[in-house]
Amino acid sequence: MHKNKNGGFTLIEVLTVIMIIAILASVVLVSLDAARKRARDSAIQNQVRQISSLGEAHYTIERGYSEFKELTEDSDHPENSNYLRAVEKINEASDDDNFAGASDNLVIHFSEGDSPREYCAYSNLVRADEVFCVDSSGDARIEGSVVCDSENLSCAPSDGDNGDNGDNGGFGAAF
């Protein structure tokens, strides 16, 4: 091995340093993307919970969800600014080039009749194939697929599922 007379670095040394920096940068970018998705999922979950809280406030006043149902179906309803703001934030958090469910991402089902007594709401998460569900019993959970519909107004998993999905603690005590 011979000494460089100019005291500088050899081409191999410079390329090695550039390669190490590139590898470190790629690791950081991958972890930032995962953190960004988790942050979007948290925002979606927070807004779905806000909408649920709005529903529970209406239930406390009228002992049913008829006003809440009207609020979610009528864009000209005088009290729906909080609801529309939450839906807008859900859609903003979901708005990703790699995410197919970016428009009208919130779904709410109510029980039949003039004065519904139950509801469930869910929204797709940015993470693939996961939804966040809340229902009128106070249950809130992340599921691998949609579990509530107009027939089943509960976020509880089907009989074969144990429900251990990372966020199976309800928030009913907050109401």
Tell me what percent of the residues of the chain surpass a pLDDT of 70: 79
| Mean pLDDT in residue range 76-99 | 72
Domain for residue 1, yes or no? no
Q: Quick check: 148 and 172 in contact, CB under 8 A?
A: no
Least confident of 26-40, 62-76, 90-104, 110-124: 90-104
Residues of the domain holding 86: 11-174
Domain for residue 5, yes or no? no
pLDDT value of residue 4: 55
pLDDT value of residue 3: 59
Domain for residue 4, yes or no? no
Domain for residue 2, yes or no? no
pLDDT value of residue 5: 64
Total residues belonging to the chain? 175
Domain for residue 157, yes or no? yes
Domain for residue 84, yes or no? yes
Domain for residue 63, yes or no? yes
**Which string of DSSP letters, residue by residue, matches 58-105?**
HHHHHSSSHHHHHHHH-TT-TT-HHHHHHHHHHHHHH--TT-TT-SS-
Looking at the structure of the chain, the number of domains it has is 1
Report which listed range, 42-46, 106-110, 149-153, is most confident: 42-46
Band the pLDDT of 169: cuts 50, 70, 90. Answer: very low
Domain for residue 18, yes or no? yes
Angle value at C-alpha 65, between 117 and 75, nearest 5 degrees: 145
Band the pLDDT of 94: cuts 50, 70, 90. Answer: confident
Least confident of 15-24, 28-37, 155-164: 155-164
pTM: 0.68
Band the pLDDT of 95: cuts 50, 70, 90. Answer: low
